[in-house]
Structure 1
Amino acid sequence: MSFELLRTLCGIPAPPGREDAFRTFLVEHLSPYADDVTTDAMGNVFFRRNGTGPNPRTIMLAAHMDEISFLVRHITKEGFLYVQPLGGFDPRVLDAQRVWIHGRERILGAFGTKPTHFTTPEERTKAVPLEDMFIDTGRSPEEVNALVRIGDPVTLERELVELGAFYTGKTLDDRVGVYVMAEAFKRYASSQDTIVAVATVQEEVGVRGAKVAAFGLEPDIGIALDITIAADIPGVEERNWCVRLGQGVAIKIMDSYSISDPRLVEFFRLLAEENSICYQMEILPRGGTDAGGMQLARSGIPVCTISIPCRYAHSVVESVHREDVERSIELVRCFCEHSHRFTV
């Protein structure tokens, strides 16, 4: 696999509703492998490889481009910024983090809070709520007002790095899903079904892009590619781990957005066993993926999510195991090549 490509994907800013730069890069990278490339009015981009069978079905692969981020909602007279979240950040991991403010110019800032020396004993035992956090740019109020406007997007500043067998950084949710989708799309030899890889928008604010994309595409089957929670860490009981890092690609049974079609679940399990791909089964009690949007399109379709196990989701140190990433690519590649064997 290409760490450099994954690092590049993780480094391109793409707040919900502002995925343009990421889409432009992906179109340039993946278009040579597609028979057709289109973009809809919402910003979803579709890469199509036509099926070779006599009656090809349409299979939608979906991975989202957007990242959890913020919008500037208030600028104080001193030049500090307050923000509105786009997606589900845990405020416990935000204090003292550096950010990029994408205004008239891209400028660096840092989340700040009241110094611990001035907090009460009760305040020191609680996480600072996001509404009490501010961003300091180190610039004068005049500079800030010249460069930043209400509504400008803010993203976290952190580069993807290798950490032992892990890749760790921001936006692996869901750049690693986009990476898996792109690599499987490039690698599969041929399919009797038409495969449409869709890079979706606005997943982090309610799987909005996937709903629109599936409505317009009218796929027969939908497969989402996203991270899932690997909680195999100290302080979490084993029964609540969900999945484990390094133990293989995860085949989702359910989450709070969708219940995977049991026939698809069994087909993916069969493919993994036939091709000696290490896998694990997943039930995620909270959270969801683009499968939830695809499942409800028009009269409904069978869906399943193929998940890449990830520790520390929705933080700047999201971590995946390189072997799990490769196993995810291989399982999706096998599915594309053997999709004709799956019948509804």
Structure 2
Amino acid sequence: MHLLQTLCRIPAPSGEEASLTRFLLAYVQEHGPGWQHPPQVIHDEAQFQDCLLLVFGQPRTAVFAHIDSVGFTVRYGRELVPIGGPEGKTGYRLVGCDAQGDIACTLTVEEETEALGYEFSRDIERGTSLTFACDFRETDTTVQSCYLDNRLGVWNALRLAETLEHGIIAFSCGEEHGGGSVPYLARYIHDTYGVRQALISDITWVTEGVHLGAGCVISLRDSLIPRRSYVERIRRIAKASGVPHQLEVEGAGGSDAKELQRSDRAWDWCFVGAPEAEVHSPNELVDKRDIASMLQLYQVLMREL
């Protein structure tokens, strides 16, 4: 879990993914030559901003993993504005940096209005991004930390890359706060490589029907509905593989898939990811059995789809 812990400790809220992009580029440069099939690395800031593509062999399927997280932006005085949908509780530790130096402050939530703010020894410069302080906790059976959503999806993609022969891994930006990067990534992938099907390497919720330790989740729907024939192909492959998995049916939530669904190119997609408790908080919790089944299922699907 050392790689996952490293990923969780890199601040990269929506709009400020550059630090994580630099880490990914350095990681691929160092480890990629030792993978079974070293990829072509595509990183063009003018065309893709902070997004990154890894292209393996003759791809048929693309894996999308967003690299940004939720967080907070300093407004005026000591007000904070959420980035995405972070959980807000008084006492959460926040970190950041402005022109005056490093910041380690405390989140405050006004009881009546639920207005967000911070406690710190000085005023923080407006526009500064703050993220949850990382307290990475590992047991024999679980991992708990901020930003497992979606650093675990990124971890899954990097581990998948070690053995991937044919496929594309797309590290996208901005998903937690409205998206925006997937349309141009999808258009480029579709038009350049003829790839029209995707897996979404992201993290979903524990609910009354989705449980920790029961295996990776194949989502039949969330706020959007994927094409059933594609999802049924994935279900057949998953069943034949024997990899533990569970099915999700939700009426809310979304992922990078929402922009594939609305693309001006024809895309099939399916969300496949581990479930977590304590979503969008400093204490996101995932079972290691679900992490293992997520990676195993992706390895199977990328061979078979």
Name the TM-score, length of structure 2 as normaliser. 0.90
CA distance in structure 1 between the partners assigned to 2:54 and 2:82 by the alignment: 30
CA distance in structure 2 between the partners assigned to 1:167 and 1:224 by the alignment: 21
Secondary structure of the residue aligned to 1:134 is: strand
Q: Which runs of 5+ in 1 are unaligned?
A: 76-80, 115-122, 232-240, 340-344
2:284 paired residue number: 318
Aligned residues of 2:187 and 2:265 also touching (Cα < 8 A):
no
2:86 paired residue number: 89
Aligned residues of 2:48 and 2:185 also touching (Cα < 8 A):
no
Cα–Cα, structure 1 residues 106 and 338, in superposed 2: closer, same or farther, change >3 Å?
same
Number of positions where the alignment pairs a residue of Structure 1 with one of Structure 2: 291
Aligned residue runs from structure 1 range 1-344, under 5 A: 3-31=1-29, 32=32, 33-39=38-44, 40-51=47-58, 57=60, 59-75=61-77, 81-91=78-88, 94-104=89-99, 105-112=101-108, 129=114, 131=115, 133-139=116-122, 144=123, 148-188=124-164, 190-191=165-166, 195-218=167-190, 219-231=195-207, 241-256=208-223, 258-339=224-305
The residue type paired with residue 267 of structure 1 is: R
CA distance in structure 1 between the partners assigned to 2:49 and 2:259 by the alignment: 14
Name the TM-score, length of structure 1 as normaliser. 0.80
1:10-36 CA deviation, whole Å, 9 max, x = no partner? Answer: 110001111011111111213423223
CA distance in structure 2 between the partners assigned to 1:18 and 1:242 by the alignment: 35
The residue type paired with residue 86 of structure 1 is: I
The residue type paired with residue 80 of structure 2 is: V
Q: State the Cα distance separating 1:113 from its structure 2 match.
A: 5.2
The residue type paired with residue 111 of structure 1 is: L
Cα–Cα, structure 1 residues 113 and 308, in superposed 2: closer, same or farther, change >3 Å?
closer
1:127-159 CA deviation, whole Å, 9 max, x = no partner? Answer: x61x2x3211224xxxx4xxx421111111122
Aligned residues of 1:229 and 1:242 also touching (Cα < 8 A):
no
Secondary structure of the residue aligned to 1:197 is: strand
Aligned residues of 1:111 and 1:135 also touching (Cα < 8 A):
yes
1:78 paired residue number: none
Of the structure 1 ranges 59-68 and 214-223, higher mean CA displacement relative to structure 2 is found in 214-223
Cα–Cα, structure 1 residues 211 and 244, in superposed 2: closer, same or farther, change >3 Å?
same
Secondary structure of the residue aligned to 1:289 is: coil
Aligned residues of 1:268 and 1:331 also touching (Cα < 8 A):
no
CA distance in structure 2 between the partners assigned to 1:299 and 1:41 by the alignment: 18
Computed over aligned residues only, the root mean square deviation of the Cα atoms, in angstroms, reads: 1.8
CA distance in structure 2 between the partners assigned to 1:164 and 1:271 by the alignment: 30
Secondary structure of the residue aligned to 2:278 is: coil
Secondary structure of the residue aligned to 2:274 is: strand
Cα–Cα, structure 1 residues 163 and 213, in superposed 2: closer, same or farther, change >3 Å?
same
